[in-house]
Amino acid sequence: MRVCAVIPAFNEATRIGAVIRGARQYVDEVIVVADGSLDATAQVAREAGARVIIHTENCGAGAATMTGLEAARRLGFDVAVTVDADGQHATADIPRLVEALRNGGADLVVANRFGRKNIIPPIRRFANALGNIVTFLVTGIYLPDTQCGFKAFGPRALLEVQLRMSGFEFCTEVIREASRHRWKIASIPTKVVYSEYTLAKGQSFANGLKTAAKILLRTFLR
């Protein structure tokens, strides 16, 4: 099984190098999608040994992720693991996600930040719970952590996935794709490290509400 890591990144020059070096130990190739970054994200990623795909405009996390997944399937990878560029995910958990695909028979593995003793701010917990509820309303699938960017796509999921949402709402769309194509989903507890930096880079609560409204709207009018 050829495995790659897909890292969507927007202005992550200070963090992405360490993330790539961490991921490279467990995958065959790291694909970074520099999503209209204005800093040296692309250069740092290249120096760290990643294949860098550059979006000339900032299209959003969902669009960048889909570009990375598209590249992964065109390059003939069997598995793609998506990892956030801000360093909040433990790349050492990549083998566990891949293992769930390989031996667990899953098509999609979603990391669960709440399945282990992680220090997560209450507002984040609340926002994620809201995200889980919205995802359940639009897909009928309940997972403990639908909004986590740390996911592994197996051969079938990688072949069939087609994300249309550009922003952070893509996390819910991935679950919708799983429902649409009837993929088998697994949830694996994972470590997460929140810092001031990752909290500042993540979604604000207001943005989360906007995202929820967009998802509900799109579901209804689709």
Partner 1 sequence: MTIPEFTPYQIVVPLFSLLMVAYAWNLVLRQKKTIWEGGLWTLFWSVVAYISIVPSSLQYLSGVTGIKKNENAATITAIGVIFFVLFYIIMRLEELEQRLTKLVRDKALRENGVVEPETRKM
Residues that bind partner 1 (CB under 8 A): 33, 51-57, 59-60, 63, 66-67, 70-71, 74-75, 137-140, 164, 166, 176, 179-180, 217-222
Is residue 221 exposed (0-12), middle (13-18) or buried (19+ Cβ within 10 Å)? exposed
| Phi and psi based region of residue 127 (left: phi greater than 0; alpha: psi -120 to 50; beta: remaining) | alpha
Instruction: Kindly tell me which of 184 and 191 has the beta carbon lying closer to partner 1.
Output: 184
Instruction: Kindly tell me which of 87 and 131 has the beta carbon lying closer to partner 1.
Output: 131
Helix, strand, coil abundance in the chain, percent, nearest 5:
45, 15, 35
Instruction: Kindly tell me which of 70 and 145 has the beta carbon lying closer to partner 1.
Output: 70
Instruction: Kindly tell me which of 146 and 166 has the beta carbon lying closer to partner 1.
Output: 166
CB of 19 to partner 1, least distance (A): 19
CB of 67 to partner 1, least distance (A): 5
CB of 29 to partner 1, least distance (A): 12
CB of 174 to partner 1, least distance (A): 13
Give yes or no for a contact between 135 and 143, defined as CB atoms under 8 angstroms apart. yes
- Both tokens of 52, joined, read 């860098």
Place of tokens 């994620």: 128
